[in-house]
Amino acid sequence: MRVTSTAERRRTRQIVLRHPTHPVAVGGDAPISVQSMTITKTADVDGTLAQIYALHAAGADIVRCTCNEVEAAEGLARIVPRSPVPIVADIHHQYRRALEALEAGVHGLRLNPGNIRRPDHIKAVAQECKDRGVPVRIGVNGGSLDPALYDKHGGVTPEAMVESAEHELAMFAEVGFEDVKISVKASSVPLMIDAYRLLSERTDHPLHLGVTEAGPPPAGLIKATAGMGALLAEGIGDTIRYSLTADPVEEARAGRVLLEALGLRERTNVDLIACPSCGRAEIDVIEVARQAAEAFGDREIPLQIAVMGCVVNGPGEARDADLGIAAGRRKGHLFIRGRNVAVVPEDEMVPTLVRYAERIMDEGIGAVVAASDTDRAEREAEADRRALLDEQGSDANASEQRVDLIRKLDAEPT
């Protein structure tokens, strides 16, 4: 279901990463895919495979592994047949690693035009990719731009980055190879946005979005989301990667959540919402929300679930959530789409949410509401709401008292 006002997606040609059981198309009308990268040594086959499976479970459709040494290429030969998702080999300086990765059976390559510059090397790799039907990402990186382009453009500019990609594309075209997606990543968000905008005007190749070296969360998450979110909202981008200094599972999860938040990917996991807490909160909302996030993890429960700090405003503020719980007078008031359905002790709030989420998945929302004593639950919620309002008044944050004090202070002679 499409739920955003995101601009119509820019039409690109399509490439396919040909995994035998999980092929992933990128571009055209294919869903926008999420990528991540392993941080293990690729020669560590079991460790790398464990990370690939974890990334896949968190939402990655494609996983990239570095192929920086012969042992890594040998590792890829053992990893690729056991991977649940297409594997892309990341190649830096040595074109031989690209040929070895192709021999290992990888489903895609990433080449950095700033690092492999000899035309005969580039064309040899392109020819081999063409013969094997393996697509390539031309991965321009602002930090490793070809020095000649740096000098020509007076620095790392959108034009320099796009020219780097076009130069590589032209060499591929000489051997008739066009199975290509492109990225023009930079660590500066405005620079990468401008570079991708320019690139999308100049080519119909699918685009892989990313803010490179975004850094650790939360700043890294914000930078990457700002850059990729702005472009996706303009309809630019066919596949995305968060480059975070964190467990790569966080990258995959963030990619999935960004696409879900923009309505560009159907939700398969819990969308946990929670109030920010305030003077009315009857529980430690941050802690309960954390426990709920941990309890649901990456489980395939596509419901919006709310944790609200008080029964006075919580059920109303989260009335659109599929399921929620609001605290009040040491109780948890459970509600489904705004209707109170049960009351449980406060320390059972999170397990109750999980139990009801499972029931909704098994029986459907209508059946769970029908089987609940909604009248009793509503009566109890209303009683607690009134009691709290009597205790705290309608101004739980004591704003009016504070304003009175401020006025008194101001009126005192200096």
**Closer residue to ligand SF4, CB minimum distance, 166 or 346:** 346
User: Considering the complex, what minimum distance in angstroms separates the CB of residue 72 from ligand SF4?
Assistant: 50
Distance separating alpha carbons of residues 222 and 216, to the nearest angstrom: 10
Residue 288 or 308: the one with the smaller Cβ distance to ligand SF4 is: 308
Tell me which residue has its CB nearest to ligand SF4: 309
Nearer to ligand SF4 (CB atom), residue 277 or residue 374: 277
- Nearest approach, Cβ of residue 334 and ligand SF4 (Å): 15
d(CA 393, CA 103) in angstroms, rounded, equals 72
Site residues for ligand SF4 per CB under 6 A: 275-278, 280-281, 308-310, 312-314, 317
Cβ at position 379, least distance to ligand SF4 in Å:
20
Tell me whether residue 122 or residue 311 sits nearer to ligand SF4 (CB atom).
Answer: 311
Nearer to ligand SF4, 127 or 352 (CB): 352
Q: Tell me the Cα Rg of the chain.
A: 26
By CB atoms closer than 10 A (0-12, 13-18, 19+), residue 251 is buried
Shortest CB 335 distance to ligand SF4, Å:
12
User: In angstroms, what is the minimal distance from the CB of 317 to ligand SF4?
Assistant: 5
Residue placing its CB nearer to ligand SF4 in the complex, 109 or 288:
288
Q: How far is the CB of 397 from ligand SF4 (least distance, A)?
A: 8
Instruction: Answer yes or no: are the C-beta atoms of 211 and 243 closer than 8 Å.
Output: yes
Residue 372 CB, shortest distance to ligand SF4, in Å, is: 22
Q: Which is nearer to ligand SF4, 240 or 327 (CB)?
A: 327
On whether the CB atoms of residues 34 and 256 are closer than 8 A, the answer is yes
- Using the minimum distance from each CB to ligand SF4, give the nearer residue, 227 or 314: 314
CB of 323 to ligand SF4, least distance (A): 16
